[in-house]
A and B are shown apart, each in its own frame.
Chain A
């Protein structure tokens, strides 16, 4: 089974700009994560990716399988993603707690959901469809949020726990998203991690964000994936490792892309932070 090969160390998000370099030089990296949507209409990129996949574990992270859309999952897109999955035999397949399609149009963003019983039922049905289609567990990622819905009846963590219970799906805990959302919506990020369904966590993400001033003199954090990991996110990541144990952790960087060496350095730091966190746990147990 592919998921038995998952390394509990840090990997790097592999973007089109770095494909040729990675294929040619085969830099040191534990694993890579790719967005399948970047390869469906790009034969050259796909050729390079399949070559890279012969040498590195690959995780497939979809930004277009919209499990939160009331109009249903885009079956045609799912078939194309499945075909790529069959070629790559990835170590994990993941996507977002979000919706992106509406009445036949693709809105090119990860849009937020109200956390209600109706949403749980809809997403559970769609996640089951996705898992049936791809033939393996789907890892669902917590969103970065800027606002909420007045008619939400449960917390995000409760919502995710109910989806795990109904579908058996796995969770991708994006630690940076937790920090961003907690700052933006005014809750405790550490409590969020403490209450997160840890037994379902199969992967973690870390990405950079920017802070913008707001009209009321406050600050909003924007999940841009365009900066190094923030120190607050590193601290929260250490807490998450202490809580969940070491997990495959991805360095996500999509905009203002740096050199591959910079990404690799961030992955090395993630491994160091995780190792120190595990030492903390061992020390606490020993004491």
Chain B
């Protein structure tokens, strides 16, 4: 077969299009001593199956919820719309949460995006490394008037999220050995703390005020702003208890003033 010699840029554009579009014709630039469509299908399969396998690993509860066939259909669409942009595959796939939220196909499972968000966070916290935790007595090293400006660094393996459904129950059921025949699952807001390290994770429900307090600290806001966020969520927020439990659970790994730069304790 005669064809014009292609630039490398044209070659790679054509090859990519052929890999991403399974039913497209085989580009004339390719040769093999065997049926070419079958040979090209090897690359097509590797591309699709590799990404699908990765995403199934990142969203085990979503797959459990939707079933493998429906999940793979979801992922087929997602991979076309949002291919990876970097070689570190552990970082690929967060956009599936927003895609599920926007996807009308999944309206019969209105909590699926919340489940996806939970799966994503659990995957991230479970590979974190805990830092040595500080005792609350370390706060006494700072003058009282400086307390509102203090920044409390929390453990790396912490995430906070809210959901309109008790999606943490679904994870617990998936991981339990005895799964119920049926499940009464009703809307109900939950505020969740996800904590993990070195291959393990745990899920705790928080009050809205405690979640607001801890999430603000996790964002790097000063203690004063975190207290304001907690009080905005619940005017009855109990600061002494909130601080005491924060330290008692080993969640604080460093204390600093914003102006101190690296002068952590």
Cβ of B85 and Cβ of A45 under 8 Å apart?
A: no
Contacts known (A111-B19, A114-B8); A184 close to B32, Cβ less than 8 A:
yes
Of the four ranges (under 10, 10 to 19, 20 to 34, 35 or more), the interface on chain B belongs to: 35 or more
List B contacts of A218 (CB < 8 A): 34
Cβ of B85 and Cβ of A220 under 8 Å apart?
A: no
List B contacts of A222 (CB < 8 A): 42
Residue of chain A at shortest CB distance from B28: A150
List A contacts of B9 (CB < 8 A): 70
- Contact residues of B between 1 and 50, Cβ < 8 Å to A: 1, 3, 5-9, 11-13, 15-16, 19, 28-40, 42-43, 46-47, 50
Cβ of A119 and Cβ of B8 under 8 Å apart?
A: yes
List B contacts of A44 (CB < 8 A): 126-129, 197-199
Give A76 to B6 CA distance when docked, in angstroms. Answer: 29
Which of B28, B30, B51, B90 is close to A41, meaning CB atoms less than 8 Å apart?
B90
Q: Which of B35, B46, B54 is most buried by chain A, counting CB atoms within 10 A of its CB?
A: B46
Cβ of A105 and Cβ of B29 under 8 Å apart?
A: no
Cβ of A105 and Cβ of B83 under 8 Å apart?
A: yes
Residue of chain B at shortest CB distance from A40: B88
Cβ of B11 and Cβ of A149 under 8 Å apart?
A: yes
Cβ of B88 and Cβ of A109 under 8 Å apart?
A: no
Q: Which of B29, B83, B88, B197 is most buried by chain A, counting CB atoms within 10 A of its CB?
A: B88
List A contacts of B132 (CB < 8 A): none
From A3-11, A96-104, A166-174, A227-235, the one touching the partner chain is: A96-104
List A contacts of B6 (CB < 8 A): 151
Give A64 to B8 CA distance when docked, in angstroms. Answer: 19
Of the four ranges (under 10, 10 to 19, 20 to 34, 35 or more), the interface on chain A belongs to: 35 or more
Give A44 to B199 CA distance when docked, in angstroms. Answer: 8
Residue interface mask A121-151, B partner, CB < 8 A = 1:
0100000000000000000000000111111
Cβ of A102 and Cβ of B129 under 8 Å apart?
A: no
Give A7 to B121 CA distance when docked, in angstroms. Answer: 41
Residue of chain A at shortest CB distance from B88: A40
List B contacts of A211 (CB < 8 A): none
Give A147 to B62 CA distance when docked, in angstroms. Answer: 37
Q: B199 CB to closest chain A CB, in angstroms?
A: 6
Cβ of A220 and Cβ of B39 under 8 Å apart?
A: yes
Contacts known (A44-B129, A114-B11, A147-B30); A220 close to B38, Cβ less than 8 A:
yes
Cβ of B31 and Cβ of A214 under 8 Å apart?
A: no
B169 close to chain A: CB less than 8 A: no
B258 close to chain A: CB less than 8 A: no
A94 close to chain B: CB less than 8 A: no
List A contacts of B12 (CB < 8 A): 69-70, 99, 102, 111
Give A69 to B5 CA distance when docked, in angstroms. Answer: 18
- Contact residues of A between 9 and 66, Cβ < 8 Å to B: 20, 37-38, 40-45, 47, 62-66
Could you list which residues of chain B lie within 8 angstroms of chain A, going by C-beta atoms? 1, 3, 5-9, 11-13, 15-16, 19, 28-40, 42-43, 46-47, 50-51, 54, 83-92, 126-129, 156, 197-199
> Closest 4 CB pairs between A and B?
A64-B87, A41-B90, A147-B32, A106-B84
